[in-house]
Amino acid sequence: MARSPTNSDAFAAIAEPRRRELLGALARGDGERDVSWLVADLGWPQPQVSKHLAVLRQVGLVTVARSGKRRMYSLNGLKLREVHDWVKTYERFWDHQLRRIKERAERVERRGREATDTDRQH
Amino acid sequence: MARSPTNSDAFAAIAEPRRRELLGALARGDGERDVSWLVADLGWPQPQVSKHLAVLRQVGLVTVARSGKRRMYSLNGLKLREVHDWVKTYERFWDHQLRRIKERAERVERRGREATDTDRQH
DNA sequence: TTGACATATTCCTATATCGTGATATGTTTC
DNA sequence: GAAACATATCACGATATAGGAATATGTCAA
């Protein structure tokens, strides 16, 4: 079997760095812009932008609305929230880690001071 | 060019559903377990577990420590936090969306009540 | 209708998977 | 040092990309 398709879910879709860039561009544009604006902003070939937008649309990370010959793409925050909610369940692991690192830094600093004091006494 | 390698960063690594499962198993095990425990917990073939762990290690999502013939794998929360921080910058987009949905729901409900009242008057 | 513009789709190729099964490496114990 | 155990790695096959170039589709304006 091969890799999971990029359009299988939001996680697979945002694995591609350029698609994260694309979401960033949409965010800069207040979350709602047409393709031409994105092409100008990113400086990529237009077909590439359209293709990446298609993947983002298939997983629901963006939505489209026709407006004359333009197509307005909008960020779908709720889909991004699914990613957020998943990763947030691991919050305690970086909290713990930060606490451990901080405590160790304090220990080291304390020891460092003591060592310096000892040196001074010589 | 092909897809970005799975070991290029945390986003690529967690695109694979089984690697998210694997992280979940580690979390169930207090964030630190050996391979045998993971194999038993997940019910996958051992080589598959080892290979997915290798990818997670390459991107820094887990760390290893030898302990006799065992190898203890630990979650690296700080790496998951990078994903969290990225997605969190989009928070305003789901906040906005939720507010809009809520407001629309209230409008619809209000209109619904008015329509019912009108019907009653007939 | 024709042309100009905006966007999507198709064809191509190189590449990096993922799962499976077999095997290699490394460690402990007797 | 041989056996038992824990873990990693290799070889292989099917597959789904991502980018580039060319082209198709759709819409407005004169």
* pLDDT at residue B113 is higher than 50: no
What are B12-44's pLDDT values in tens digits?
999 999 999 999 999 999 999 999 999 999 999
Residues 6+ apart with CB under 8 A from B84: A84, A87, A88, A90, A91, A94
Query: What CA–CA distances, in Å, run from A34 to A50, A65, B92?
Result: 10, 9, 20
A70 touches strand D (CB under 7 A): no
- Measuring alpha carbon to C1', the residue closest to nucleotide C27 is B69
Q: How far is the CA of B75 from the C1' of C25 (A)?
A: 25
Cβ atoms < 10 Å from Cβ of A19: 21
Q: Between the CA of B5 and the C1' of C8, what is the distance in angstroms?
A: 27
Question: Is any atom of strand D within 7 angstroms of residue A21's beta carbon?
Answer: no
Return the pLDDT at A98: 67
Of B31, B80, B97, the CB nearest to A78: B97
Tokens of B57: 């290690």
The distance of B99 to chain A (nearest Cα, Å) reads 12
Closest-CA distance, A28 to chain B, in angstroms, reads 11
The whole-angstrom distance between B100's CA and the closest CA on chain A is 12
Residue nearest to nucleotide D25 (CA to C1'): A69
pLDDT at site B9: 97
Average pLDDT over chain B, rounded to whole?
88
Chain A interface disruption, residue of B14, B20, B48, B90, most A CBs within 10 A: B90
By CB atoms closer than 10 A (0-12, 13-18, 19+), residue A11 is buried
Interface test with B, best of A1, A6, A11 (most B CBs within 10 A): A11
d(CA A13, C1' D7) / Å? 32
Q: Does B40 touch chain A (CB under 8 A)?
A: no
What gap in Å lies between CA A76 and CA A10, rounded to an integer? 11
Give me the mean pLDDT over the B71-84 stretch. 97
What is the model's pLDDT at position B114?
46
Residue (of A94, A92, A15, A4) closest to A61 by Cα position: A15
pLDDT at B119 over 70: no
Which tokens sit at A109?
């600093």
User: In the predicted model, is pLDDT for residue B121 greater than 60?
Assistant: no
Reported pTM: 0.85
Q: Does A80 touch chain B (CB under 8 A)?
A: yes
What is the tens place of the pLDDT at every residue in A56-79?
999 999 999 999 999 999 999 999
